């Protein structure tokens, strides 16, 4: 705990060099850290004095209970203010203020993200979201008719759509495999892919954590297995980065794309694409870049005019995240998830949560289904009648409502949700 406190106090000490921070922004994290009664992340997960201070960093709409943080998350107030300040500054004289003053600061953002992810800054491209990062990968690799690509049927819809366009346009083969989310063992999940690989398989795309059921995949083991067969691996980390702790070398990845407006709490329209240095030359950018940039990670940022304010505020969000700490954050998220999930499972045999609730194979994202109640109707009832936000998931193999709290979510809000599900089970939602 002392090292974490030392980090955030140092951030305050250099505040004059960090104009992106509101006067009391990092002090909010220091106050929270000072309230901690234990440095153990598991014990800190239930330390409401600490998490109340973290919640005060957000201007959340408390007239609604937002349990759909898997889509896009609000930023802490000081992160939003940093972006707004830079937007105003840009607007005064965009051709100078935005292009000449603010845009060069992307190099500091690149450095900060690369340090946190554990890679060379020359391997880190700043994107607008995970879709842009993954579509760069999907559309940027040369393939021939008949070449096979392997994915699961829980891969994100936009990524599947992009692969399917290549199927129609170029004649590649897309193979989707199914997996049982109730069987989260490493061997099982790796074998799901291993059994589907053929001599024609060129690329495997795996989600680090699925957006539907919240299954965390053993990415490192999948990568190692695929490389033994000469198969490249693209990792969709849209929901993973800043959700639970890991770094590049933990995964042994060559390609990784993520959004930062989810669990990092950065401004909407931010993400990154990691490409190992020796792989950059063999991956085309989604928008054209000059030949001289062939081996330059910045070729993936050639997207035309865009605001510098959004991506510059990433550093403020990253400092806030590091002030909390990845280990402490994921234990809190699992605590909030289990608070509703284990309670409802104990209360009714009609409740089903396929998401693993023990160990480290899931995080905040969990799927809930109730026998006899359609997922879409339950989600609509929660929103329209009770101002609780979830999202209905209707997959060919399962359905339910996805529930995703975040660090600003209170236990009281979790209990409101669980009470309502109990009411729906007992009385219906008509």
CATH code of the domain containing 334: 3.90.1150.10
> Is 43 among the domain residues?
no
Please list, in sequence order, all residues whose beta carbon lies within 8 angstroms of the beta carbon of residue 423, skipping any fewer than 6 positions away. none
End-to-end CA distance of the chain: 50
Please list, in sequence order, all residues whose beta carbon lies within 8 angstroms of the beta carbon of residue 61, skipping any fewer than 6 positions away. none
Quick one: pLDDT at residue 182? Answer: 82
Quick one: pLDDT at residue 424? Answer: 98
Average pLDDT over residues 289-304: 97
- Count of domains forming the chain: 2
> Is 350 among the domain residues?
yes
Residue 138 and residue 142: Cα distance in Å, rounded? Answer: 9
Could you tell me the CA-to-CA distances from 21 to 75, 104, 196 in Å, in that order? 13, 18, 49
Quick one: pLDDT at residue 13? Answer: 40
> Is 276 among the domain residues?
yes
Please list, in sequence order, all residues whose beta carbon lies within 8 angstroms of the beta carbon of residue 184, skipping any fewer than 6 positions away. 215, 216, 356, 359, 361, 362
Whether residues 306 and 351 fall in one domain: no
Whether residues 141 and 212 fall in one domain: yes
Q: CB atoms < 10 A from the CB of 295, how many? A: 13
Residue 213 and residue 182: Cα distance in Å, rounded? Answer: 10
Q: Is residue 20 very low, low, confident or very high in pLDDT (cuts 50, 70, 90)?
A: very low
Whether residues 401 and 286 fall in one domain: no
* DSSP H helical ranges for 229-284: 248-251
Structure tokens at 83: 């972006």
Last residue of a domain, one of 259, 288, 317: 317
Could you tell me the CA-to-CA distances from 185 to 148, 335, 356, 362 in Å, in that order? 26, 22, 10, 12
Residue 151: pLDDT above 80?
A: yes
Contacts of the segment 72-75: beta carbons below 8 A, 24+ positions apart: 72/261, 72/262, 72/268, 73/261, 73/262, 73/263, 73/265, 73/406, 74/265, 74/408, 75/261, 75/265, 75/266, 75/267, 75/268, 75/313, 75/317
Residue 336 and residue 414: Cα distance in Å, rounded? Answer: 7
**Residues 116-147: tens digit of each pLDDT:** 999 999 999 999 999 999 999 999 999 999 99
Whether residues 309 and 364 fall in one domain: no
> Is 67 among the domain residues?
no
> Is 246 among the domain residues?
yes
Residues 202 and 148 sit within 8 Å (Cβ to Cβ)? yes
Structure tokens at 325: 């700490």
DSSP assignment of 115-173 equals HHHTS-GGGEEEESSHHHHHHHHHHHS---TT-EEEEETTS-HHHHHHHHHHHHHH--E
Average pLDDT over residues 362-373: 97
How much of the chain, in percent, has pLDDT values that exceed 70? Answer: 91
Quick one: pLDDT at residue 27? Answer: 57
Whether residues 272 and 417 fall in one domain: no
Last residue of a domain, one of 295, 317, 339: 317
Quick one: pLDDT at residue 6? Answer: 46
Quick one: pLDDT at residue 39? Answer: 72
Last residue of a domain, one of 248, 282, 317: 317
> Is 125 among the domain residues?
yes
Quick one: pLDDT at residue 155? Answer: 95
Q: Is residue 19 very low, low, confident or very high in pLDDT (cuts 50, 70, 90)?
A: very low
Whether residues 351 and 218 fall in one domain: no
Whether residues 140 and 225 fall in one domain: yes
Whether residues 420 and 272 fall in one domain: no
Could you tell me the CA-to-CA distances from 267 to 57, 178, 311 in Å, in that order? 15, 34, 8
Quick one: pLDDT at residue 12? Answer: 41
Whether residues 308 and 337 fall in one domain: no
> Is 79 among the domain residues?
no
Whether residues 313 and 398 fall in one domain: no
CA nearest to 72, candidates 113, 22, 130: 130
Segments forming the whole domain that contains residue 370: 328-427
Q: Which of 38-42, 165-169, 336-340, 344-348 bottoms out in mean pLDDT, i.e. has the lowest?
A: 38-42
- State the Cα angle at 368 between 362 and 369, rounded to 5°: 140
> Is 241 among the domain residues?
yes
**Residues 185-236: tens digit of each pLDDT:** 999 999 999 999 999 999 999 999 999 999 999 999 999 999 999 999 999 9
Whether residues 310 and 398 fall in one domain: no
Whether residues 397 and 364 fall in one domain: yes
Please list, in sequence order, all residues whose beta carbon lies within 8 angstroms of the beta carbon of residue 417, skipping any fewer than 6 positions away. 65, 67, 340, 382, 388, 403
Structure tokens at 272: 């990154």
Structure tokens at 379: 């989600």
CA nearest to 254, candidates 279, 230, 237: 279
Residues 271 and 291 sit within 8 Å (Cβ to Cβ)? no
Residues 203 and 255 sit within 8 Å (Cβ to Cβ)? no
Residue 177, domain CATH: 3.40.640.10
Structure tokens at 45: 């997960």
């Amino acid at each position: 705990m002392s090292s974490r406190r030392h980090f955030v106090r140092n951030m305050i000490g250099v505040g004059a060099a960090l104009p992106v921070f509101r006067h009391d922004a990092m002090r909010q994290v220091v106050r929270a850290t000072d309230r901690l009664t234990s440095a153990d992340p598991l014990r800190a997960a239930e330390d409401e004095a600490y998490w109340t201070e973290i919640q005060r960093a957000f201007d959340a709409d408390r007239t609604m209970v937002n349990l759909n943080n898997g889509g896009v998350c609000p930023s802490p107030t000081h992160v939003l203010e940093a972006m707004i300040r830079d937007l105003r500054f840009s607007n005064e004289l965009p051709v100078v203020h935005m292009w000449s003053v603010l845009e060069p600061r992307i190099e500091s953002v690149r450095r900060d993200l690369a340090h946190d992810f554990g890679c060379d800054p020359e391997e880190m491209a700043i994107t607008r979201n995970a879709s842009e990062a993954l579509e760069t990968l999907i559309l940027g690799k040369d393939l021939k008719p008949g070449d096979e690509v392997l994915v699961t049927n829980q891969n994100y819809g936009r990524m599947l759509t992009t692969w399917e366009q290549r199927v129609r346009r170029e004649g590649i083969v897309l193979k989707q495999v199914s997996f049982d989310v109730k069987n989260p063992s490493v061997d099982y999940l790796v074998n799901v892919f291993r059994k589907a690989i053929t001599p024609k398989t060129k690329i495997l795309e795996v989600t680090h954590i699925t957006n539907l059921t919240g299954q965390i995949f053993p990415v490192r083991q999948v990568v190692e297995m695929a490389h033994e067969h000469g198969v490249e691996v693209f990792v969709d980390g849209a929901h993973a980065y800043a959700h639970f702790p890991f770094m590049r070398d933990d995964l042994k990845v060559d390609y990784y794309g993520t959004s930062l407006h989810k669990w990092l709490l950065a401004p909407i329209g931010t993400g990154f694409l990691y490409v190992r240095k020796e792989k950059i030359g063999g991956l085309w950018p989604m928008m054209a870049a000059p030949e001289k940039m062939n081996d330059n990670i910045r070729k993936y940022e050639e997207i035309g005019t865009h605001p510098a304010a959004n991506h510059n505020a990433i550093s403020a969000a990253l400092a806030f995240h590091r002030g909390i700490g990845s280990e402490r954050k994921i234990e809190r998220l699992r605590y909030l998830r289990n608070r509703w999930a284990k309670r409802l499972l104990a209360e009714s045999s009609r409740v089903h949560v396929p998401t693993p609730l023990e160990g480290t194979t899931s995080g905040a994202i969990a799927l809930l289904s109730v026998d006899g109640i359609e997922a879409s109707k339950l989600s609509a009832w929660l929103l329209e009648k009770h101002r609780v936000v979830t999202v209905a998931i209707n997959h060919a193999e399962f359905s339910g409502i996805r529930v995703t709290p975040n660090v600003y979510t209170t236990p009281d809000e979790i209990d409101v949700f669980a009470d309502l599900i109990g009411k729906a089970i007992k009385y219906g939602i008509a």
